[in-house]
Structure formats: C-alpha cells, structure tokens
Amino acid sequence: MNAPNTILFKKIILVGGILYSFIFLIACFSGTIDPANFYGITYFALAFPFLFVGMIVWCIIAPLLYKNPGWVFSLLLLPAISHINKSISLNKETTFIQEKKSDQLRILSWNVNEFAYGRISDTTWKMKQIQMVEFVKASNADVLCFQDFVPVPYKDTISVLNYIADSLHYPFHYYSLDGKDYGTIIFSRIPIVDSGRVKYKEKVYPESLAYVDIVFNQQPLRIYNTHLRSMYLHQSVITPNTIGYLEYVKEDTGFLFHSTRIERLAYFDNIHTKQAKLVKEQLNKTNTPYIFCADLNAVPTSHVYHLLKRNMKDAFLEKGSGLGGTYHSISPTLRIDVILSSKSILTKQYYAPALDLSDHYPIIADLHLGN
C-alpha cells in the first residue's frame, strides 16, 4: 500500500475509532440516563460489556497506528469503571456451604416460570417441576421469594403452594395475586408479623411490590419481592396465541402485536423505570433493615438497576464471582435477578447455580443482619 493510500486508510480507521468511542461513552453513562429522556438507551446498556471489550482492542490498536495521540483513547476507559464494578464480581469463586449458621438468614429468590418450564407436549415441564421442588427443599432456605408464580401449574392437579407450605415446612406465606392465578409469593419458616403490597400503576392487572415483616434473631426485618414487567422476547412475532391471557396486556396489545424484539426492549425499559421509581420510594420509607428480591428484567448497566442499587448492597457483588448471569439464554451478561439489601446487612454467601429448570437461575444468599 503506497503512502497516500496508507494515510487515507488510517484516517478512515481514526474516524471509525472516534465514532466507536462516542458510542462507548454513551454506554458508560447508560445507568444515569432516564429512558424517558433518551429513547433506546437500553440498547447501550445491554451492549456495554461487548463495547467494553471492543474499546480495549481499540486502545491497543490506536497507539500502534497513531503513536502518542493514540494513548488518549485509553482515558475513555475511566468512565467505564462504574459499570464494571456493577457488572463483574472479582471475588474468588468458592464452594457454597450447605450447612446454614443460626445467626444467618438464608433467602432463595427465583423466577420459577409458573413451575411449568419445558415442553408441554412431552411433559418435560412436570419432570422439571419435580426437580425444582427438590432443589428448593435442598436449599434449606428460611425464606423463599418466587416470581412468576401460580399455585397450580398448567394442567396439574397438585397445588405447589400447598405442597411447599406443608411438605417443605414453610407454614407462613404471603401471596400477591396480580392476575387471575398469577403473582409473586413469599414463603417463610419464620412467623410473618405483617404483610402487604403496593400495586404498580398499570391500568389492567398491575403487578405489585409485595412485602412481609418478620423478626429474625430478635431483629425486625422487611423482605420485599417483585417482578418487573415481562418484555415478551421469546417470540419475534407476538400473536394472541403466544401471549397467554390477553387481559394481562390489554393496554399494550396495539404495540405488542406490531413490534419487534428490539422495539419491545426500549418500550418496556421505560415502564421498568417507572416501576423502579415507585419501588425506590417505598424502600426509602422503610424504617427497618430490609432485603429486596426481584426479577428486574434489567441488567446492572441499566437505569433501573442504577436507581434501585443506590445506598444498597448487592449480594452478588459482595460474595458472587464473575458475570453472574441469571437468565439461561441469549447472553451470560444478563444478570437480571437480584438480592439487594440495606447497607447494615452483611452477605456471607451467594450461590446461583445454572440450572435448566426455569428460564431464570435461582439465587441464594446467606445474610447477617449485623448489630
């Protein structure tokens, strides 16, 4: 390649690198940007891990092509530190200790996908349901927080609710019925002192932020459980036959039936942000230590997580390791299920096995309430 062509090539690469760096910078601040003010910011949040890897490659290439000026691009990695700290846990991976200490509360949070995950045609869902219940039993958790819960899954004749309460010895529960037979539930082996829910502001069948109050080791504790709106990403095209109960999405059908997966991401990110603001209002009003379990349907680089994580601890970041993805498909970067807590609460263990029993992985944390 002669000199003029080399110069032109380097200029084109430089322009491309500058544009890429600009996109990367937007992704670095995706957590602080409200989707109501920037349509599509969720795309930048989801892409951040991949953009970060690409930016490292560019920071290696740029100095080789442009010598000293090329090092300037390395400074653009600094704004990424906040997202990196939320997305990756650098703790050493440890073996989960099954034996539970008496001064620690073990909590299991899981989107159980109605206990009916699998192929309905060949009853795989039933086999997986049995395995799910066995896992719950083996976890020996004090408190269970389930999202996407129905008492009697699919065409089953056995009530999972009653089985867990009676056979697994969780005599106390609060079921937030958010639809005809659907909602979130909190099971407890510790007596529930109080319970309730705060409904989100959807017009038809709104989901809720559910809570229970318990006393653990003579200390009051509130436990929240919620599920932010599903985004219906399993199908590229949504029809009445693939959506289940139409009543649940009545206010959104005009959009859903004429949208792509990409469009749904941005649409529901805006809804999730509104829900997260309501959640944060309730958390800020809570006078006792609290634990917040949720399927956020939002990643750690999102505005939703940024809002909720403020002044709270994340059990995964405290004791987990790696990327900690909790969704079984698409990407290992999708850590959309969380156990957050008041700053006074200490995380002693965290465990999220990659079980193919639901479309989400279960997450378990052993927590110490402090003094």
Is the pTM of the predicted complex or chain greater than 0.75?
yes
Mean of pLDDT over the chain? 91
Which of 157-166, 213-222, 253-262 has the least mean pLDDT? 253-262
| pLDDT value for 330 | 84
| pLDDT value for 327 | 95
Which of 102-111, 177-186, 241-250 has the least mean pLDDT? 241-250
| pLDDT value for 121 | 72
Confidence tier at 247 by pLDDT (50, 70, 90): low
Give me the percent of the chain exceeding a pLDDT of 90: 72
> What average pLDDT does this structure show over 52-63?
94
In order of start, what are the domains of the chain with their CATH numbers?
A: 3-87 (no CATH), 105-368 (3.60.10.10)
Q: Which residue has the higher pLDDT, 158 or 213?
A: 213
Please list the alpha-helical segments (H only) found in the chain: 3-28, 41-66, 81-87, 124-139, 160-166, 253-256, 261-285, 303-309, 315-319
| pLDDT value for 7 | 78
Closest CA to 326 of 349, 293, 368, 367: 293
Which of 39-48, 246-255, 257-266, 355-364 has the least mean pLDDT? 246-255
> What average pLDDT does this structure show over 208-232?
95
Cα gap 221→283, rounded to integer Å: 12
| pLDDT value for 248 | 58
Note whether 59 and 25 are within 8 A (CB).
Answer: no
Q: Which residue has the higher pLDDT, 71 or 144?
A: 144
Which of 3-7, 79-83, 355-359, 363-367 has the least mean pLDDT? 3-7
| pLDDT value for 233 | 72
| pLDDT value for 204 | 65
| pLDDT value for 123 | 79
The owner of tokens 């389930």 is: 146
Confidence tier at 353 by pLDDT (50, 70, 90): very high
What spatial distance separates the first Cα and last Cα of the chain, rounded to whole Å?
70
Give me the percent of the chain exceeding a pLDDT of 70: 92
**Could you give the angle at which helices 41-66 and 261-285 cross, rounded to 10 degrees?**
110
| pLDDT value for 205 | 64
Confidence tier at 156 by pLDDT (50, 70, 90): confident
Cα gap 215→276, rounded to integer Å: 26
pLDDT at 71 over 90: no
| pLDDT value for 244 | 59
Confidence tier at 2 by pLDDT (50, 70, 90): low
| pLDDT value for 249 | 59
Confidence tier at 6 by pLDDT (50, 70, 90): confident
